Amino acid sequence: MRAGLICIDLQRGYFRDERHAAGREGLVEAVNALAAAFAQAGHPVIAVTTEHAPDGSTFSLRMRRNGTAVMLAGSEDAADLEGLVWPPGTLRIAKTRYSAYLRTPLAQTLRDMAVTHAVHCGAFTDGCVGLSAIDAAERDFDSLMVSDATMPCHPGRAPGLAAFAADEFEVRVAPAERVLAALAAQADGGTLTGA
């Protein structure tokens, strides 16, 4: 069993809103700790970011309808959050939709690395992280969201999406402490399924 840490949308543009900015520092600390532990244990770390072509060719239907251009490749908004420390060997994948698995090589990349357990963190529980965790389960990965290494976009709807993911797709939700303990136990012959 091999786990992969998928860190989603930890980009400046998603944290300009005051309520999101307030949780940014704690989120970055949690993701940095997870990324370092996964890398040290020999598990892959993948940073997935939303990046749209400035010519509009990758815009979603909603973006085209609303006439909005967000998260343009190379822009300040698309840049990594301040304070993130990616371990050497971190892979980077760009996406143009909420799910990190839609229209990207992520699933095949994980399979090529013999990953069976996809561990998701980042922004947001009720958006890209939650939908990615569901899509991972739909692609036959054992899927998990790290509860304190992700944050909600809309606090009122995040618990509903997490419950739906757990009930319908068997996506597990666990705090970083349990994930790190399971990772350490795996190094001693245990499995990550205890997270």
In the chain, the number of structural domains is 1
Residue 189 has pLDDT above 80, yes or no: no
How sure is the predictor about 122, in pLDDT bands with cuts at 50, 70 and 90?
A: very high
How sure is the predictor about 185, in pLDDT bands with cuts at 50, 70 and 90?
A: confident
Which CATH number belongs to the domain containing residue 129 in this structure? 3.40.50.850
Residue 193 has pLDDT above 70, yes or no: no
- Say if residues 185 and 165 touch (Cβ distance below 8 Å): no
pLDDT digits 0-9 by tens, 17-52: 988 999 999 999 999 999 999 999 999 999 999 999
Average pLDDT over residues 93-113: 98
164 prior amide bond cis, ω within 30: no
Residue 192: the pLDDT is 64
C-alpha distances (whole Å) from 15 to each of 33, 80, 122, 193 are 20, 11, 11, 32
Nearest Cα neighbor of 11 from 70, 90, 57, 66 is 70
Q: Range of 175's domain? A: 3-194
For 24, other C-beta atoms within 10 Å of its C-beta total: 18
Phi-psi region of 126 (alpha: psi -120 to 50; beta: other; left: phi over 0): alpha
Report the C-alpha gap between 47 and 88 in whole angstroms.
12
> What pTM value is reported for the model?
0.94
